[in-house]
Structure 1
């Protein structure tokens, strides 16, 4: 009786078909009705808590990693920057594997739990490498010029354990949190749009504490103590995440999400010589009344028409019985065809988003090294750790998210009639503009810093930090944070919302791969620029930052973003969003930009 009442409540709320598993109380079909929406934010709180811990750890390590490599392991700037970018690249590409395994086999909750334990193992190894005497960099202190090889090996092993843990943690945790909101329920769908904003707000809180508190402990107390703090916090939040399992909604894994896409391609090739039907309604689709397990159906769109041939019903398949037991390698539904179209349409957007990954790496490498040789004193006895200046980007992002979610979105909804306020691709495009401004500002500040170098070090013979204040870097960091608030949150929404419903962990992994591939491109760009400019006389990125021309490198990045933006605008103007079939009016399918509204 209780289950029937809950089922009725769910349908009365307009949620449509039951596609969730809530805890372990499942019926014989493996599904139960959705719980009341009052529990949505309670479940999200447990999920966001462990994200806060992971971001605290990641940014506590990543933002100051170049300092550790250059001061403790004594690597030169070029080698250290490349090692940071390689690690960041692997860390953000690994989620492709983790997202696939979660969607296909393990489920998101299980993958998050397992990967969090691997992450904890990596943090534990980092801690041990600083506290066990035989594993320390040096015999008595961390000031020796030739650190032990065993420490270096264990250090990088621990870092890549963290990468492995991130591979399952990042794509699944965010999509698992978004899964707590039902797309077919109007109020919950709006809450999900806010969820992505507040998810990133919590992420920024972890970032701020990571780059201020953890980095300060690293610089002033010791790397071992900082690693111990991160290990304890991660352990506590893993326990809290597990305790919240009674509140969660779960999506059951449905096997490889790539197989249906391949089936559509094979079926379309097999039927390539067939004529298109006169009306798209003649294409094959499973009736709603007989398909309560497939999930949401997608409306037909006119893009990539070649793939529509996979849904053409041949004479041998015209019998309803034959279609019910059809061979998926010969006949695909319209929904499967549209899912294939979604994936192919995302590829150009993914490619034009790679410039973000390139720009993101500068904030945790060259921006930090600039800060290290500038005046960081707040008082006579206190100076800011170089990596802590990164917190300004998080502050900028937090301020933007608060204003955007509480003021701009309600206003834009009234103006545009779009429930998002502006479209996802418009939000990403605005982020590109801010990233361009950030690189231009960084170039101007670096030009000013180089003038101080010429005056104080080259001509004046000064040793140590420059007199120019580190807060000259504040504008480029704040503008950079505004760019993240628009572009990165937009990319998260885009890759979660526009992929097929069965691929949402993989969708978040696609977003993270933008950062990962961008990181490798950044490393490749540094190598090319160093090689070319070195031959021309003076390398833009030399071993000594004071003897380099980092301002030219920033101007080059700004130019690349502008050129990339032109291509992106063209793609965004012609993009068609996912068009989900309405529940009540089944025939209400029309080609448009979907819920996202007008694009650039």
Structure 2
């Protein structure tokens, strides 16, 4: 090589290659961030999840398919169960209603047990698969109860009824435990398929809860029509076997998409973690938290238990629980005892749950209103003119308007309202979750007011000897409640999931089902209290057997008033609530 060329090569500036190396390194980092999820999720093999191969709507379609089958099977079993108990097992109306109510309440309580198992031991996926298998077995047992008279001959009617009851209720409570493993995990597992660190996937997570509710309502409509028709025309053996086959199809949907799922790590029992904070704080009752929050205990960054786990920043409220993270001399002697010293992240997890409880109570009262619409409005409709043209409309079937309204509005809300609100307000979800829930609570109040006005009109016509009021007047109260259902139910699911600590996602989703159960129990308590308070001294009360002698309108106005008080309480709690993003 000529000397001038060699001289030029040897004297090239050193920085000439450095920008290329730096840009290449940064490009590799960015590429890696784009390839893998940022929320610590794993694939089926336990490796960091790849964005383009796992999660998103490709996985959620199968999850929503499983949810559709689960709801179709559950509602197909529930809707006509009272009829089966009274006609086939010869139970009284009171006994049948009591048995169905007890079983349904159990179905809303078991999701809490399923959530604890999922978050603590098995994980959501395995809990769902086991729950689905138990549910299929329970539905088959229920179908077997209808087949027993064909399989066993020469047995007394009383003995046959007893055998059928045993097999049926064994199957029903197997279904309850199967549903407990499916319901909270399906919601939470579906939301896990969207990366919280990716803005586009974060927006899709809000849509997921809308379409989850849409799927559930579709299944409910089909159950109240097609499934009931099949049971009435083709017998109970086939009518109860079809839900089992439907749920088996849902299980196949769930398992078929396994390679596409994203999985979250389990971090132990959430209730154990909560109890540890409470016990540690009580033990240090006389210890004052330090002024410098940096002195509170936190698990070191290099600890394997905190691998890819986001720490939660300290908040200033509920300072009593901060005592659990104060390091004392006795803690140093008993190093590693979680019942004496808890991490700051663990303390903040408990604070999040405590903050959500007042809001949860207000949401539970919303379901008290929906329970009244589904029960007292039916009794109201039975006292009205059910003829619409040449057709006679069963009063209970008007509840379909609630479902249809919700189903019609969900696509409009998700595809039109949310994008418009996102552009105007600059929020990812369009409007805050708590504002959406509050709007739903408002709709419940308006539905009660509409029912009261209809009852005033109906009762006046009955007392004046006029023609019965048409049942069509009930449509607005059902439609308004459908709007409230679309706003409040999907909103509370999104709220509980987004605000839940990472280690308690499924448990917090189970709070939604506990809210339904609490609302139904409170509804029964309110009815009992009203009957006791108003039916005294020989008076018929507000809700007698003959509504023309009572004042059902006063009951609806009372519920509207209680709903207003609940809305005020909810608004107060919502304004004081400290969101995780604000912490």
Same fold (TM over 0.5): yes
Write out aligned runs for 1:249-398 (5 A): 249-286=262-299, 288=301, 293=307, 295-314=309-328, 326-371=336-381, 376=386, 380=390, 383-384=392-393, 386-398=395-407
Q: Which deviations, in whole Å up to 9, do the C-alpha atoms of 1:273-327 show, x marking residues without a partner?
A: 4444333334333455666525121121111122223333447889xxx99x644
User: Whose radius of gyration is greater, 1 or 2?
Assistant: 2
Structure 2 residue 573 is the aligned partner of structure 1 residue 574: no
Is 76-85 or 255-264 further displaced after alignment? Answer: 76-85
Write out aligned runs for 1:166-177 (5 A): 166-177=179-190
- C-alpha distance in 1 between matches for 2:361 and 2:79: 26
Give the 3 Å change call, closer, same or farther, for CA 418–14 of structure 1 in structure 2. Answer: farther
Write out aligned runs for 1:431-446 (5 A): 431-446=440-455
Structure 2 residue 552 is the aligned partner of structure 1 residue 553: no
Q: Which residue in 2 is equivalent to 1:585?
A: none
**Secondary structure in 1 matching 2:312:** coil
Q: Which deviations, in whole Å up to 9, do the C-alpha atoms of 1:459-498 show, x marking residues without a partner?
A: 69xxxxx965443322111111111111111111122222
- C-alpha distance in 1 between matches for 2:440 and 2:90: 36
- C-alpha distance in 1 between matches for 2:267 and 2:28: 25
Write out aligned runs for 1:401-420 (5 A): 401-420=410-429
**How far is the alpha carbon of 1:106 from its aligned partner?**
1.2
Q: Which residue in 2 is equivalent to 1:121?
A: 137
Write out aligned runs for 1:66-81 (5 A): none
Q: Which deviations, in whole Å up to 9, do the C-alpha atoms of 1:175-202 show, x marking residues without a partner?
A: 1111111212222111111111111111
- C-alpha distance in 2 between matches for 1:119 and 1:385: 31
Write out aligned runs for 1:148-159 (5 A): 148-152=161-165, 154-159=167-172
Give the 3 Å change call, closer, same or farther, for CA 154–248 of structure 1 in structure 2. Answer: same
Query: 2:444–2:481: 8 Å Cα contact kept in structure 1?
Result: yes
Give the 3 Å change call, closer, same or farther, for CA 174–283 of structure 1 in structure 2. Answer: same
Give the 3 Å change call, closer, same or farther, for CA 218–152 of structure 1 in structure 2. Answer: same
Give the 3 Å change call, closer, same or farther, for CA 187–405 of structure 1 in structure 2. Answer: same
- C-alpha distance in 2 between matches for 1:553 and 1:125: 41
**Secondary structure in 2 matching 1:162:** helix
Structure 2 residue 117 is the aligned partner of structure 1 residue 101: yes
Give the 3 Å change call, closer, same or farther, for CA 401–287 of structure 1 in structure 2. Answer: farther
**How far is the alpha carbon of 1:375 from its aligned partner?**
5.0
- C-alpha distance in 1 between matches for 2:308 and 2:501: 12
**How far is the alpha carbon of 1:44 from its aligned partner?**
0.7
**Secondary structure in 2 matching 1:94:** helix
Give the 3 Å change call, closer, same or farther, for CA 62–556 of structure 1 in structure 2. Answer: farther
Give the 3 Å change call, closer, same or farther, for CA 16–414 of structure 1 in structure 2. Answer: same
**How far is the alpha carbon of 1:544 from its aligned partner?**
5.6
**Secondary structure in 1 matching 2:310:** coil
- C-alpha distance in 1 between matches for 2:77 and 2:380: 18
**How far is the alpha carbon of 1:363 from its aligned partner?**
4.1
Q: Which residue in 2 is equivalent to 1:22?
A: 43
Is 339-348 or 308-317 further displaced after alignment? Answer: 308-317
Q: Which residue in 2 is equivalent to 1:487?
A: 488
- C-alpha distance in 2 between matches for 1:496 and 1:358: 22
Is 88-97 or 260-269 further displaced after alignment? Answer: 260-269
Give the 3 Å change call, closer, same or farther, for CA 543–441 of structure 1 in structure 2. Answer: same
Q: Which deviations, in whole Å up to 9, do the C-alpha atoms of 1:198-246 show, x marking residues without a partner?
A: 1111111111211222234345555544323322212222222222212
Give the 3 Å change call, closer, same or farther, for CA 545–214 of structure 1 in structure 2. Answer: farther
- C-alpha distance in 2 between matches for 1:134 and 1:452: 52
TM-score using structure 1 length: 0.82
Q: Which residue in 2 is equivalent to 1:584?
A: none
Q: Which residue in 2 is equivalent to 1:598?
A: none
Structure 2 residue 583 is the aligned partner of structure 1 residue 562: no
**Secondary structure in 2 matching 1:237:** helix
Q: Which deviations, in whole Å up to 9, do the C-alpha atoms of 1:96-123 show, x marking residues without a partner?
A: 1111111111111111112122222332
Structure 2 residue 223 is the aligned partner of structure 1 residue 210: yes
**How far is the alpha carbon of 1:157 from its aligned partner?**
4.2
**How far is the alpha carbon of 1:133 from its aligned partner?**
2.2
Select the residue among 40, 47, 51 that pairs with 2:67. Answer: 51
**Between Structure 1 and Structure 2, how many residues are aligned?**
553
Aligned CA-pair RMSD: 3.6
Give the 3 Å change call, closer, same or farther, for CA 477–256 of structure 1 in structure 2. Answer: same
Query: 1:93–1:516: 8 Å Cα contact kept in structure 2?
Result: yes
Is 444-453 or 491-500 further displaced after alignment? Answer: 444-453
Give the 3 Å change call, closer, same or farther, for CA 250–387 of structure 1 in structure 2. Answer: farther
**How far is the alpha carbon of 1:72 from its aligned partner?**
6.6
Q: Which deviations, in whole Å up to 9, do the C-alpha atoms of 1:416-469 show, x marking residues without a partner?
A: 3222222221111111100111112222233444456557xxx69xxxxx9654
- C-alpha distance in 1 between matches for 2:412 and 2:198: 25
In structure 1, stretches of 5+ residues that fail to align are 461-465, 580-591, 595-600
**How far is the alpha carbon of 1:387 from its aligned partner?**
3.9
Query: 2:111–2:510: 8 Å Cα contact kept in structure 1?
Result: yes
- C-alpha distance in 1 between matches for 2:240 and 2:250: 16
- C-alpha distance in 1 between matches for 2:166 and 2:564: 41
Q: Which residue in 2 is equivalent to 1:526?
A: 527
Select the residue among 211, 223, 228 that pairs with 2:241. Answer: 228
Give the 3 Å change call, closer, same or farther, for CA 160–519 of structure 1 in structure 2. Answer: farther
Query: 2:56–2:194: 8 Å Cα contact kept in structure 1?
Result: yes
Give the 3 Å change call, closer, same or farther, for CA 317–225 of structure 1 in structure 2. Answer: closer
